[in-house]
Amino acid sequence: MKNNDFHIRTIQNNDNMMLAKTIRTVLSEYGISKAGTAATDPATDDLFTTYQEIQSTYFVVESGNNILGGAGIHRLEGNDTDVCELQKMYLLPVARGKGIGSLLMEKCLQFAREQGYKQCYLETMPELKDAIRLYEKTGFYYLEGHLGNTGHYACGIWMLKDL
């Protein structure tokens, strides 16, 4: 797949089922489909509704009629209103290593800036090494503990980026 074989768009209501499947497929691939992750998060099955809230959006990576992944920005639950969270950023293997993740990340961070957020927070797991490298390259730095109340207690890596 070449970079011009895909496009990034905002989520639509009929994307819910395929996005949930994509997220759970990626988590299973890494052996981390368990409680305390997006695998059991009720929002995973209805991302469209979740990202209709003010100052939130979810971007979908699509090639033809196939959803290859996505990522969202949402206000960080249980924290200051000027902190957002990068949420549910997952790409299927066919979309990795082509710069798509970087483009998706930049689209999310640009949206966050436009909404007036001052910082972007994320949680991840050590198994997602490629994602962690992308986060580091993008300017996220490590925290010693979690922020807010995400419900993803299985995630042991917490990162923050100043916008």
Q: Can you list the positions of beta strands (E) in the chain?
A: 7-10, 57-63, 66-75, 83-91, 119-124, 141-143, 157-162
Q: Mean pLDDT highest for which of 76-80, 97-101, 143-147?
A: 97-101
In this prediction, what percent of the chain has a pLDDT beyond 70? 90
Q: How many CA atoms lie within 13 A of 65 on its CB side?
A: 1
pLDDT number for residue 77: 83
Whether pLDDT at 21 is above 80: yes
pLDDT digits (tens, 9 = 90+) for 44-60: 889 999 999 999 999 99
- 27 or 4, greater pLDDT: 27
Average pLDDT over all residues of the chain: 89
In this prediction, what percent of the chain has a pLDDT beyond 90? 69
pLDDT number for residue 1: 46
Structural domains of the chain ordered from first start: 3-118 (3.40.630.30)
Whether pLDDT at 89 is above 60: yes
- Phi and psi at 15, nearest 5°, equal -85, -15
